[in-house]
Structure 1
Amino acid sequence: MDRRMKRKKMTSILSYWTRRYILILVVGMTLITLFAVYWIRETASDNRQKTAGLLGQEIADRVEVGQDGKLSVPYTMNKLLDSRMGYFNFKGEFCLIITDKDGDLVFSRPPIKEEQLHQWLTKDLKSRDPAKKVIGIPIGDEGGRTYGQVSLLLSKRSLAASPNELALACVLLVALILCGWLTIYLLSRKLSLPIRRVAESARRIREGHYDVNLEVDTKEREIDELVVSFKDMASRLKQLEEWRALSLAGVTHELKTPVTSIKGLVMAVRDDVVGPEEAKEFLDIALRESGRLERMVADLLDYNALSAGSVEVRRDRLDLGALVSEIAYQWELTSKNEGAVLSVSTDFPEAPVQAAGDALRIQQIVVNLLNNALQAADPGRPTVIAIRLRAKENRASIEIADNGTGIAAEDRPHIFERFYRGESKKLRTRGLGLGLTYSQLLARAQGGELRLLESSPEGSAFELELPAAPPAERSERTSA
């Protein structure tokens, strides 16, 4: 099954965030609106009760009390109620009841009968209907005597009714939701656009197209850093892909050349193309070619092992003078046995130079530098290699200088890159271009560094720098 078909259905950032923000916004605003409506209704009910109390007090003040204690309602009461009802904006179920001190009906608006009064109100003039509320104002004199009561019978729903406030709350709710949706939509769209372009560019890179034209105009620092980093990554990937193809071709060529040579030489001997003397010479050449092939394969394996972190590197207390002297002596004997004409000089300080490192790995680095010096020898002058030891603050260094042809200026920045070989070296010697790269990795695995100090047509100088050994250094193993 296609890998794309296995992937679950995805949604865009724009849709994802917009939908969820709207959902959260609607829920949040709905809760806020419900609370606001409840608060508005309670506030409106409280204000209307106070307003009804003021109206009842005014009516109670206008009711006349006779000498016999009987109540007399002015004939202008209906006119007064008409004006006050419009002024106080009382709507819905409303009933004004005036009773005497015995609870008998004196006046009502709208008119009701005595039987209705007792159906609606209890003896203490409270509402029998839970949906209605009675606001009672006593009718009395300055002496504190009560002659009756003005009762305003109102429905609780009409008290809490506030259509204007509710309409305003709904309008604000809708406006806030729309503004919030528009805001998150625009922000999500602005955020998703560069990410979508980066994703499209990544898809092109996955398909093998490294020429990415990613032009995104953004003021957000994080997005700008993402775009710039992606551009740099795409450029680096393009370089690595070009380097990979070139390196693969170079490695293939370098490995194929000795194999082809060995094959041709062995076939010539097998088919009796050459005589016995020449056959022996051909076999010697094939043996040397197989040795070169073996060394190239070993370099490749060593480099891969060190890059994967599977090479063990020790941290022992070493006397660099004794170690380097032994390495130089053995290498010089081997090289002279192979016919090389050279001289190796050493310059060591009187005091021992102590370092923390791995003797075997240091030998690999030094031998590789000596081999490179020999390969760079100038045929027009004797080969001289100088080895110097220097003790620095918390560091120890091994300098190896030669009087060879030097390294071309255009090759110097790349000599530690894997599989890199200068044009002049390609013509003189065969190899994979891993020697200096591997040596530098070994130096860094020991906490040191390998660098090119100088190079000119009169020769080159390299420095291997290692950490100095503390007074009480103990041997330990580390993984490179």
Structure 2
Amino acid sequence: MKTTRRISLLRYWTTRYVAALCLGLFIAAILTVIWLQHTMLNNRLEVSEFIAEELANRIAGSQEEKNVSPTIDEDMLKSRELFLQSEHPPAIFITDPKGRVLSANQSTSGIETSSFAPSLLQKKGDVLKLSPEMANGSRTWMIKKPIKVDDIIFGWVVMLQPENELENVTEEYRLLTGLIISLGLFGWAAIYILSRRLATPISQVAKAAKQIQEGNYQVRLPEQIKEQEVYDLVHSFKEMAQKLQQLESLRAELLAGVTHELKTPVTSISGLLQAVRDGVVTGEEAHNFIDISLKETTKMQKMVNDLLEFNSFSANALPVAVEKHSVNELLSEIVHQWHLGQETEEITISFSPLPTNRSITTDAVRLQQIIVNLLNNARHAVDSDGKIEISLSEQESGFLSIEVKDNGSGIPPAEQALIFERFYRGEQKKYKVRGLGLGLPYSKLLAQALNGELLLKDSSSFGTIFQILLPLAEERIK
């Protein structure tokens, strides 16, 4: 079997973020270089055009005043070189109207030309890009300005500059390179810190999961987490660990409880039957011992049946047969039957039906199991002169609400979240009533199988209210 090579979350996201960042910066750098070259070319051409025009105006002025041959003002060019932002100054020529070169600056030493074609000088536009054939195989820009006196052209100022000189942005490249490197390092640092901040709590959760796998439920995870999703993950994992710890405690308690609950009647039955067999008791007393043994046997059968039914229903192996019933008649009959089978002379039981009778589609046997279990719990919770109320009401959502209320001592707040856990038994009930702690979990499963719900609505020192919610049929009973 081929093993999958795994890497840490920090390395995984950091490498991919950095790769994406480098790719983005590379694309941005290329676009910036193209933009810089284009912008610098336009700016330098505009400055060169301005210098050529200024030089043409100066020569025209000197021609008008002194009527001497035109020459290049080298001092003026040196003062303007700063604006050109170029390592090598452009080649500047002074020509006559026919294009013959009359004067040139020192930067023309590498350019051999004695004249310019008149058609080229008279061509429309002051800025021209010369073809390689016209510029000795190199890409060159030509800036030309006429020397005019009273609208008469006495010559031309021609400026030649190689394209690579105009697009030379060496200093800008240095700045751009420094900026890209700085952004890359800063981006990598930010990505590393953020990825580490995200990966750390997840790594802690993974370590905590290994602790739980080894049976250690005392996990420690950070509390102050700003990221909502990571906080939800850590918080849910901590709740799961606490739940598993509770279930582990319940499992140990279940083993002890089942052992105790089954051992006690077995020991009692064994002792009673041994006394009858050995003749320790005879006559009527022997019959009483046998009756007690039969009662203990019945209790053991009930506990075993509870376990079997609960396991069957949890595995969806227990069928539910639904039929249509009248709500008031069905619930009244269930309460009446339970009342007849109880010794509750000192307990007051009241039943409040629906003002307008409705029908319900449900399994009457399963519903009776739920209500009988709640009534039995209520009877165990109240003392003498206790009171149990069963009230029906119709919810706006179309559900029937069945509330079973008692005036007992209530369920302690610390136990209220656990009462529907299988095999859980409260501290007070544990020593007062024998059982396996399956009544309420089983009743909840039954209510859900009937498309309803069983809830603990309220519990305090004044009493407890359980609520059953079941869907009502649409038609009303007349």
Q: Displacement of 1:423 after TM fit?
A: 7.0
For residues 76-96 of structure 1, the C-alpha deviation after alignment (integer angstroms, 9 at most, x for no partner) is 745555555567555337322
Q: Give the distance between the partners of 2:306 and 2:117, measured in 1 at CA.
A: 109
Q: 1:54 aligns with which of 50, 57, 62?
A: 50
Judged with a 3 Å threshold, the aligned counterparts in structure 2 of structure 1 residues 300 and 73 are, in CA distance, closer, same or farther, namely: same
Amino acid at match of 1:362: L
* Match status 1:210 vs 2:214: no
2:33 aligns to what SS in structure 1?
A: helix
The aligned residue for residue 154 of structure 1 is 161
The aligned residue for residue 364 of structure 1 is 369
Q: Give the distance between the partners of 2:373 and 2:56, measured in 1 at CA.
A: 118
Q: Is this contact kept in 2: 1:40–1:162, CA < 8 A?
A: yes
The aligned residue for residue 38 of structure 1 is 34
User: Which protein has greater RCO, CA pairs closer than 8 Å, 6+ apart?
Assistant: 1
| Equivalent runs, 1:432-443 vs 2, <5 Å | 432-443=436-447
Q: 2:7 aligns with which of 1, 7, 10?
A: 10
Identity %: 34
Q: Is this contact kept in 1: 2:306–2:438, CA < 8 A?
A: yes
Amino acid at match of 1:41: Q
Q: Is this contact kept in 1: 2:459–2:465, CA < 8 A?
A: yes
* Match status 1:193 vs 2:206: no
Amino acid at match of 2:246: Q
Q: Displacement of 1:209 after TM fit?
A: 0.9
The aligned residue for residue 309 of structure 2 is 302
| Equivalent runs, 1:32-431 vs 2, <5 Å | 32-63=28-59, 72-74=69-71, 77-78=73-74, 81=77, 84-85=80-81, 88=84, 90-92=86-88, 94-110=90-106, 116-117=112-113, 124=120, 127-128=134-135, 129-144=137-152, 146-220=153-227, 223-224=230-231, 226-254=233-261, 292-307=299-314, 312=320, 314=322, 316-321=324-329, 324-325=332-333, 328-329=336-337, 332=340, 354=358, 356=360, 357-368=362-373, 390-394=391-395, 395=400, 397=402, 413=416, 417-421=421-425, 431=435
Amino acid at match of 1:297: V
Q: Displacement of 1:151 after TM fit?
A: 1.6
Q: Give the distance between the partners of 2:263 and 2:465, measured in 1 at CA.
A: 31
2:443 aligns to what SS in structure 1?
A: helix
Q: Give the distance between the partners of 1:243 and 1:226, measured in 2 at CA.
A: 25
* Match status 1:472 vs 2:475: yes
Q: Give the distance between the partners of 1:349 and 1:51, measured in 2 at CA.
A: 100
For residues 220-253 of structure 1, the C-alpha deviation after alignment (integer angstroms, 9 at most, x for no partner) is 5554554444433333322222122222332355
Q: Displacement of 1:433 after TM fit?
A: 2.4
TM-score normalised by L of structure 1: 0.70
For residues 201-235 of structure 1, the C-alpha deviation after alignment (integer angstroms, 9 at most, x for no partner) is 23222221111233454455554554444433333
Judged with a 3 Å threshold, the aligned counterparts in structure 2 of structure 1 residues 398 and 219 are, in CA distance, closer, same or farther, namely: closer
Judged with a 3 Å threshold, the aligned counterparts in structure 2 of structure 1 residues 132 and 408 are, in CA distance, closer, same or farther, namely: closer
Q: Give the distance between the partners of 2:19 and 2:474, measured in 1 at CA.
A: 69
The aligned residue for residue 477 of structure 1 is none
Q: Is this contact kept in 1: 2:91–2:105, CA < 8 A?
A: yes
For residues 431-452 of structure 1, the C-alpha deviation after alignment (integer angstroms, 9 at most, x for no partner) is 3221243234434654364769
Q: Give the distance between the partners of 2:83 and 2:348, measured in 1 at CA.
A: 118
Where in structure 1 are there 5+ consecutive unaligned residues? 475-480
Q: Is this contact kept in 2: 1:94–1:152, CA < 8 A?
A: yes
1:49 aligns to what SS in structure 2?
A: helix
Q: Displacement of 1:360 after TM fit?
A: 0.9
1:57 aligns to what SS in structure 2?
A: helix
Q: Is this contact kept in 2: 1:353–1:390, CA < 8 A?
A: no
Amino acid at match of 1:136: K
The size of the alignment, in residue pairs, is 447
Amino acid at match of 2:369: Q
Q: Is this contact kept in 2: 1:355–1:469, CA < 8 A?
A: yes
Q: Give the distance between the partners of 1:415 and 1:85, measured in 2 at CA.
A: 91
Moved more, 159-168 or 419-428: 419-428
2:120 aligns to what SS in structure 1?
A: coil
Amino acid at match of 1:196: S
For residues 441-479 of structure 1, the C-alpha deviation after alignment (integer angstroms, 9 at most, x for no partner) is 4346543647699999xxx998675659567169xxxxx
Q: Displacement of 1:158 after TM fit?
A: 0.7
What's the C-alpha RMSD, in Å, of the aligned pairs? Answer: 5.2
Judged with a 3 Å threshold, the aligned counterparts in structure 2 of structure 1 residues 256 and 347 are, in CA distance, closer, same or farther, namely: closer
Q: Displacement of 1:10 after TM fit?
A: 2.3
Amino acid at match of 2:322: R
Amino acid at match of 2:242: S
Moved more, 445-454 or 49-58: 445-454
Q: Is this contact kept in 1: 2:81–2:89, CA < 8 A?
A: no
Q: Give the distance between the partners of 1:455 and 1:178, measured in 2 at CA.
A: 62
Q: Is this contact kept in 2: 1:321–1:348, CA < 8 A?
A: no
The aligned residue for residue 478 of structure 1 is none
Amino acid at match of 2:302: R
Q: Displacement of 1:159 after TM fit?
A: 1.2
Q: Give the distance between the partners of 1:452 and 1:45, measured in 2 at CA.
A: 81
Q: Give the distance between the partners of 1:265 and 1:7, measured in 2 at CA.
A: 67
Q: Give the distance between the partners of 1:90 and 1:386, measured in 2 at CA.
A: 103
Where in structure 2 are there 5+ consecutive unaligned residues? 122-129
Q: Is this contact kept in 2: 1:317–1:473, CA < 8 A?
A: no
Judged with a 3 Å threshold, the aligned counterparts in structure 2 of structure 1 residues 355 and 385 are, in CA distance, closer, same or farther, namely: farther
Amino acid at match of 2:191: I
